């Protein structure tokens, strides 16, 4: 089965697990950003959207592509918090796209937020269609990250910029325990691989991006990783007793091993910003 088909199947069968990630109807499918003043898990999820928006310098009239938009939580948050911007979200999941458009309609945002089934490695949008490409924990699903970077470059106008928040390999080479933890996490969430920070930076430079900046925010997402771990530990016995399908069982294992890997320093969480 090709990686895209695996990802589509994963999000179709594990959608219910993400629905209860936060307390809001439109569920963010990403880690939260914890800092002083953030006192709840749900607040941390929206605070991640705020943190990225500020780093990306969201401006009036901006055309944003949410590459790998999930059910549209970040796209809708952007439109609700920044006037006069237009957001286009894309996902390879028909289920997610249908839900995202329904959420946007319910919030009265269908005129400024639209969602399509599309592949961020190879879209059908014209050159220079966007001012910003936003990738929040989605680019990890690209087998070759260079494909996404190349397409982002094509889609951005002459003064466009890109922001990517994701997990990255923290050390090389891995020892046997690193490999054990990472394999079970990534396989559980159907992620083909993580990029290294140096590798991703070099790919951006090769494409021509400038003013490249990387910020390590591992400490800010660690509380979310710990929350996912706790939910995985609590869910594992119930899933086993109920004999859930193998995909959901692997998902729960991934919830456990992502935190073990983070604690061990096998991976880190960071944000790339770059300009065309």
Question: How many C-beta atoms lie closer than 10 Å to residue 219's C-beta?
Answer: 11
Give the model's pLDDT for residue 248: 87
Any idea how long the chain is? 276
Residue 81 and residue 109 in contact, taking contact as beta carbons nearer than 8 Å = no
Distance of CA 161 to the CA centre of its chain: 17
- Torsion angle in degrees (nearest 10) through CA of 271, 193, 119, 122: 90
Distance CA(232)–CA(254), nearest Å, equals: 8
**CA nearest to 192, candidates 206, 202, 182:** 182
**Domains parsed from the chain with CATH numbers:** 3-169+195-217+270-275 (3.40.50.150)
pTM: 0.96
Question: What residue has token string 């119930």?
Answer: 238
Residue 2 and residue 12 in contact, taking contact as beta carbons nearer than 8 Å = no
Residue 233 and residue 157 in contact, taking contact as beta carbons nearer than 8 Å = no
Q: What pLDDT tens digit does each residue of the chain (276 aa) get? A: 688 999 999 999 999 989 988 888 999 999 999 999 999 999 999 999 999 999 999 988 999 999 999 999 999 999 999 989 999 999 999 999 999 999 999 999 999 999 999 999 999 999 999 999 999 999 999 999 999 999 999 999 999 999 999 999 999 999 999 999 999 999 999 999 999 999 999 999 999 999 999 999 999 999 999 999 999 998 777 666 666 678 888 999 999 999 999 999 999 999 999 999
């Amino acid at each position: 089965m090709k990686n895209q088909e695996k990802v589509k199947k994963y999000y179709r069968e594990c959608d219910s697990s993400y629905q209860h990630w936060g307390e809001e109807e439109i569920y963010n499918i990403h880690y939260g950003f914890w800092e002083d003043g953030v006192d709840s898990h749900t607040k941390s999820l929206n605070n991640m959207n705020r943190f990225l928006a500020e780093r990306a310098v969201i401006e009036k009239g901006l055309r944003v592509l949410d590459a790998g938009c999930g059910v549209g939580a970040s796209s809708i948050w952007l439109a609700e918090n920044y006037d006069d911007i237009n957001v286009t979200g894309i996902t390879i999941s028909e289920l997610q796209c249908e839900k995202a458009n329904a959420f946007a309609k319910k919030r009265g945002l269908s005129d400024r937020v639209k969602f399509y089934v599309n592949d961020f490695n190879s879209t059908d949008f014209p050159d220079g269609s966007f001012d910003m490409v936003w990738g929040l924990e989605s680019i990890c699903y690209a087998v070759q990250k260079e494909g996404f970077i190349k397409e982002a470059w094509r889609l951005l106008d002459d003064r466009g910029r890109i922001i990517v928040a994701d997990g990255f390999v923290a050390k090389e080479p891995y020892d046997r325990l690193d490999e054990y933890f990472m394999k079970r996490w990534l396989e559980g969430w159907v992620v083909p691989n993580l990029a290294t920070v140096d590798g991703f930076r070099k790919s951006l430079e090769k494409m021509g991006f400038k003013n490249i900046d990387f910020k390590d925010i591992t400490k800010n997402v660690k509380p979310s990783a710990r929350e996912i771990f706790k939910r995985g530990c609590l869910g594992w016995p119930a899933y086993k007793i109920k004999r859930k399908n193998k995909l959901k069982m692997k998902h729960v294992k991934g919830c456990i091993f992502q935190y073990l890997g983070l604690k061990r320093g096998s991976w880190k969480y960071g944000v790339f910003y770059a300009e065309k």
